[in-house]
Structure 1
């Protein structure tokens, strides 16, 4: 299965996270919600590792492993803050603001990773920013 199909699966699955987490955190503390939901993620990843017979230990000291560790820290900070924001604010405002990570990640891809910038991609990013501005307004 190609990256576009995986992207669509990710889109539809992740689209359920904010509304479900908003409902959950109305009565469950956000730190508990983070632990439980991310434990589900860890268990799923562990099951995939086992079923695909991939070695984790071999990669813990890989030259690129520090990127994994820093990404993990960024993920932890981002998810903790996102769940807290969902508990405190409306999904219709929090999610578009959080979703700007897509545009910022694209910019990092252009500026740091040397990915190609086209007029179409630039226009898409501008529309994304405009969409967040318009949809996240109160």
Structure 2
């Protein structure tokens, strides 16, 4: 499968995350809900890594790689804590579009951080995503 197929599966599972998480935080503190979800993610991720032999590379990870993966983990944790708090307070149909503005943040930050030069279509698409998120959030 190409990266497009994997990206579409990611989008589908992210949608399921929003729906299932909204049901899960209905009667629970969002921080506890995030902790439970994260525990499941950690166990599942390690099971996949071990099952597919990915742990063989563990000893080859250098300090820089570990630093960036660790920082990414902290960013993920903060994102999930904020996401679950937002889901506890608001409707999933409005929280999810705002959360997907992460795509726009990636488009904007990929240039200075990764050196990916944006095209005119990148700006147009990012603007459309932003407008779409605003419209979906303001819709009744």
**TM-score between the two structures when normalised by the length of structure 1:** 0.91
CA distance in 1, matches of 2:69, 2:75: 10
Query: What's the counterpart of residue 79 of structure 2?
Result: 78
Bigger mean CA offset, 46-55 vs 10-19: 46-55
Q: Which runs of 4+ in 1 moved over 3 A?
A: 59-62
The alpha carbon displacement at 1:3 in A equals: 0.6
Query: What's the counterpart of residue 103 of structure 1?
Result: 104
Mapped contact 2:107–2:118 kept (Cα < 8 A): no
Query: What's the counterpart of residue 53 of structure 1?
Result: 53
- Larger proportion of helix: 2
Query: What's the counterpart of residue 5 of structure 1?
Result: 5
Q: 1:136 to 1:59 in 2, by over 3 A?
A: farther
Bigger mean CA offset, 61-70 vs 79-88: 61-70
Mapped contact 1:59–1:65 kept (Cα < 8 A): no
Q: Deviations over 1:27-82 (max 9, x none)?
A: 12212211222222112211111122223642554322111111111111110011
CA distance in 2, matches of 1:39, 1:90: 25
Bigger mean CA offset, 82-91 vs 16-25: 16-25
Mapped contact 1:103–1:128 kept (Cα < 8 A): yes
Query: What's the counterpart of residue 120 of structure 2?
Result: 119
Instruction: Give structure 2 stretches of 5+ with no counterpart.
Output: none
**TM-score between the two structures when normalised by the length of structure 2:** 0.89
How is 1:9-48 mapped onto 2 (pairs within 5 angstroms)?
9-48=9-48
The alpha carbon displacement at 1:99 in A equals: 1.0
Mapped contact 1:30–1:87 kept (Cα < 8 A): yes
